[in-house]
Each structure stands twice: as structure tokens, then as C-alpha cells.
Amino acid sequence: MKKIMAANWKMYKTGPEAAATVGELAKLLGGRAPDGREIVVFAPATALERTAEAIKAVAGAEAGAENMYPAEEGAFTGEISPLMIKACGARWVLTGHSERRHILGESDAFVGQKTAFALAQGLRVMLCVGETLEEREAGGLQEVLERQLREGLKEIPADTAPENLAVAYEPVWAIGTGKTAGPEDILEAHSLCRSLLGALLGEKAAQTAILYGGSVKPANAGSILALDNVDGVLVGGASLKAESFLQIINAH
């Protein structure tokens, strides 16, 4: 399985800024993702079309949306649909990012509806899961991952191809805080995710990418990517500059 090197730009970058960063990255990469790696850039909705257009200059890279509403169209003011995402030229969508769960109040069930609908519409989905500090300290890691994965994948189409689904384990306490989970924490959580996916997806679990996210930087990406069951990284802050994201993309 190729490792997935994903950028999450959150609420940063206008369309022209996004296109400029992708253009710079394309030059630095020489027009292609490194062997054995694929690149995804999750961009704000207003920059999605420009990002998707610019990313065509990198073989093995795709653009994604950070959010969507689970309907083709309708009276959902402020939302965007999978059809709109695809029309922008993007292939991916993030679901269940902790900022949407904890700041925007998205429930496990709603995250599950989005995940299922996006897959049914032919998008590739990266479902984010992860525990808060309180949940971790109360010994709730397994229970949280079990619930978020079970609810998140509840209604996905039976014929979902494993390459269209990825899971990102992002401990909430490590996102944007500079605190990276230690190797033991990552190994434990990723192996838990793999076995929980096995129970939910059967043999497809082995081919479903599990990414780590939370304060990934050029200095720690190589050692994180070397851990068992880590099939990529989802990078926020350190993906905003092309040079820094490039170092992570090439990290070993």
C-alpha cells in the first residue's frame, strides 16, 4: 500500500494562495509524488477548484474538501455537496475531523452519514478519529476509537474499495499543540484501529490506510512513518508552506 501524505489546510489560504503553494510544491517535487507515496491536499471550499487545478501538475497527487453535507443538493445554507466537490476536480473529502466534532458539534452519527454518502457518490473518504485528553486520562481510548469507527463506518456501501477509504488517527490533545503522541501511543492506537477495522470491514482492513495526525513536523515525520500500521500522515500547520510539506512528503 502506498503511504498517503496529506495536508489539511483548515481555514487558511485563499484560492490564489492555495494555487501558489501547490505550484511551488509541484516545482519542488519535479512534477511527481515520490515512489510509494501519494499526496492529498485538503483545501478550504473557496480554494478547492484552484487547488485541484494546480495539483494536476503533480502525478500521484489529488485535492480534497475538508467537509461536505450528505445530500446531492438542497436547502442547506452554507454547505457543499459531494457533486460540487467532484465538479471542482477534487477526489477526496475529510469526515469527522476533531475540529468539526468538537467546535462545530458534529455527532458520530452525522459523521457516519457523511462518510457513507461521500463513498456512495464516488469520493475517497478520510475518516478522522481520536480521543480527547480527558477521555485518554479516563482510560477511554479503546472505547472512543471503537465507537467512532463503528458509527463512522456504519452505513458505508458494501462494495467500498479499500483504496477509497482511509482512517486518520488524530489524538485531539496533539492537534496544533506541538505535542506529538509518543511512538508507544501511536503503535497502540494504530494497532487498535487495525483490529477494530478488521471486525468492521473484514479482510479489507489490511488494505485500509491508517494515517497519524497531530503536530507532525519535518523533524518527526520519518520516525512516525516507520512505525507499524502507520500508512501515512495528516499534517495541519506544517503543511502550509510548500518547503516544509515537501520535507514531510520525502521523510524516511
Residues tagged active-site: 97, 170
CA distance 54 to 56: 5
What is the sign of the dihedral through the CA atoms of 145, 174, 183 and 226? positive
Interface residue with ligand PGA among 8, 121, 164, 208 (CB under 6 A) is 8
Q: Under a CB-based contact definition with an 8 Å cutoff, are residues 5 and 40 in contact?
A: yes
Cβ neighbors of 4 (< 8 A, separation 6 or more) are 37, 38, 39, 40, 126, 166, 209, 211, 231, 232, 233
- Contact with ligand PGA (CB under 6 A) among 175, 186, 189, 211: 175
Q: Which set of grid coordinates corresponds to residue 117?
A: 454518502
Q: Binder to ligand PGA among 213, 225, 229, 230 (CB under 6 A)?
A: 213
Please calculate the CA angle 146-148-154 and round it to the nearest 5 degrees. 95
Site stretch for ligand PGA (CB under 6 A), options 25-33, 141-149, 221-229, 236-244: 236-244
Which part of the chain contacts ligand PGA (CB under 6 A), choosing from 58-66, 109-117, 170-178, 183-191? 170-178
We find the least distance from the C-beta atom of residue 217 to ligand PGA, in angstroms, to be 8
- Using an 8 Å Cβ cutoff, are 120 and 130 in contact? no
Stretch that binds ligand PGA, among 77-85, 113-121, 230-238, 243-251 (CB under 6 A): 230-238
- Shorter beta-carbon distance to ligand PGA: residue 82 or 213: 213
Q: What is the DSSP string of 164-178?
A: GEEEEE--GGGSSSS
Interface with ligand PGA, residue 170, by CB under 6 A = yes
- Examine residue 176 and tell whether it contacts ligand PGA (CB under 6 A): yes
Please report, as ranges, the residues that interact with ligand PGA according to CB under 6 A. Answer: 8, 170, 175-176, 213-216, 234-238
